[in-house]
Structure formats: C-alpha cells, structure tokens
Structure 1
Amino acid sequence: MRNNKDRAGPSVFRFEAQLVRHPKPAQQGGWGLVNVPKSIGKQLRGMTTVEGTINGHPFRAALEPNSSGSHSLRVNQAMRRGASADPGDKVQFAILGPEPEPKLPADLRVALSTAREAKTLWGDLTRLGRLDWMRWINSAKTPETRARRVRRTVEQLSSGKRRPCCVNFYEFMLHRVGEQ
C-alpha cells in the first residue's frame, strides 16, 4: 500500500485485496466485496464516496464502515467485468482519499480559540461539516456580514449545532442546477 502525499489534492491509496463473494449474493445481484486495509480505513470517517480504479478500470462507489474497524467496498458486476475480476481473485486498487483539510480562516481560528465548546465540536465535525461552515462564512459579501457569521458560527457550535443554520447548500445547489 502506498499513500502519495507529494502533490496537492487528495491522497492516492494503493493496495491489493482479494475480491470475495458478497455474503448474500442473490440479494446483491452477484456483487463482490473487498475489505479496505485498516491503515487506510482509519483515515476515513463514516460512509464516504470515493473514486478510483480496480485493475485499472475506473469506478465511483461508496466505502462503508464495517465491523472490523475499517471499510468495505461493494464491487458490482460492471466493476467486476471492467476489471476482469471474479470472487477469489486478487485485485489492484487505487483510491483517491479525501481532499486535504481546507485552511481554517484566521478570523474563525481566533474566534474558536476563545470558545472551548465550539472548538471541541469543530474538531468532531467531518471535513464536509467544516466545509459547510467555511462556505457560509466565506460567502459573506461584506466584512460586517462575515464578522457576524463568524460570531454566529461560534455561538451555534457552542450550543451543539453541527450545520450552518441559515443555508442548506445542497438544496441551494440543486435549485441552481434546476434553473439551467
């Protein structure tokens, strides 16, 4: 397994694993299953969508947490055909890891340093959760609005809220896509 961190952007995790038959193949349409090495799984949190290759064949799929403390990847028939792989085969994977953690804006870093509860919750958020807050703060058009959003972020995190209150970015983006 190799983890390339010598370039900007996400890490690339490379590993070899045995493709096993899904425990319930009839219900899963003949899917296979691969267990991701724990050394990679511990760098991921929760279910996450990844892009990568299996024996050079590109795919996009979900990595799901499993009971062994890592993640599993369901390998569907299209992925198996593209990779020329059957259950029992050893297959080569290259998976793009998560994007690097974005740089915390200075004003938010200072504000979090003065609020223990907010800072603790900030550290517990997923990368995507932190990105949501930073997008909301960074979308302010005036310095006054930005300062107000930084204050509000700290207040809401201190009260246990994990997502920005005022903007559902995903709904907003879907609405924008629908306009085009």
Structure 2
Amino acid sequence: MESHTRFEDLSNEIFFEIFDYFDALDIFTSFSLLNRRISSILQSISLRIVILKKHCRHQIDLLSSYLTFHDQQVTSIKIYDTIRDGSSIISVLFNRHNFINLKSCIFYAINSSTRLDNVIKQIKNLHQLISFTLYQHNNNLSNDDTNEFTHTLLMHKSSFIRSVILQYPCNFLNISKSMSVSSHLISLKLSILI
C-alpha cells in the first residue's frame, strides 16, 4: 500500500525552512490562502522585503495589504526606490507601516521626489537595527536629507547597530562639525566630498 504525503502534512519546521528561501511578496502570493494551518505559521515567521526595479505598483500594493497584519514580522528590507512603472516605493511603505523589528535595511537609488521624513523618523526608533546601507550613486538627495540620514545613523542610540554604509556624496565638514560616531559601530563606510 502506497502512502502519499501532501504538502499540508509537512511539519512546521519544514515550512519554516521553506519560507526562509522566499521574500515576503513571494510568501504571501504563494502560501497565504492555502489553509488555516499555513496561515497560522505565516503569523510567526520573520519576513524579508525585497523590492527590485522589475516590480510594479500592483505588486507593492498587494504586499502592503498583507503587511497590514504582518509589518512587525519584517526583519529585513532591500528596496530599489523607483520600480518598473516609475513609482517611488520607500516612502509609501514607511508611511503605511511601522517596521519595529527591522534589523537590516538597504536602500538603492532613492528618487529625488521621495519624502524621507517618516523614513528617518522610523530609523531613529529602530532599536534592533544592526545594519543600514544606502547606495545613492547620483547626487539627487537634498542636502537636508543626506545630513539627516548621516546624523541619524552615526548617532543611532541602538546598542545593536554594527554596520553603516552611506554611499552618497556627503560633505565632510557637515559630518565632522556636529557628530561623534556611535561606539557600537564595527563597520562604517562613507562616501565623502571634500
């Protein structure tokens, strides 16, 4: 007599292992409506948000609707701000959600029209943040935003923060005048204009 194992019969531990291979959008679109047990497991996993240039606004809105009940589970964010249809995403997500358990945050190419007030405000209160990276190869962030990002991250009060990479043109005089670096940092990389 043959025995067949169905997907739903797998142990919780195997589901946790499987979900480690997927980002939040893939998890929600693939698994969220399968059954109650899997939906229950989704309540207790860590989530990684990965938004690339290839994504479109419809996908971001779908992800955001799922995050309404799961934003506290997000531990990692990697976002290209401008996606395929030209939408700016960073401020959209940070205005809609509070990522209180965020440990790793990577932003790529922030659009000059992106409002960063709420993003910076949230970063100031991320007490579990370990790593923050911003890759901005052009000079289209405002001086106020670059100064605020630099100040916020170098003076971050979290005892967890270990790595800060700020790859955008910033003025050395603005950094050196007003800041001391958090003693918890192990790795710091700045792109500086003299």
TM-score range, shorter chain: under 0.3
Normalization by structure 1: what TM-score?
0.21
Larger C-alpha radius of gyration, 1 or 2? 1
Greater share of strand residues, 1 or 2? 1
Flag the structure with more relative contact order, 1 or 2, with Cα contacts below 8 A and sequence separation at least 6: 1
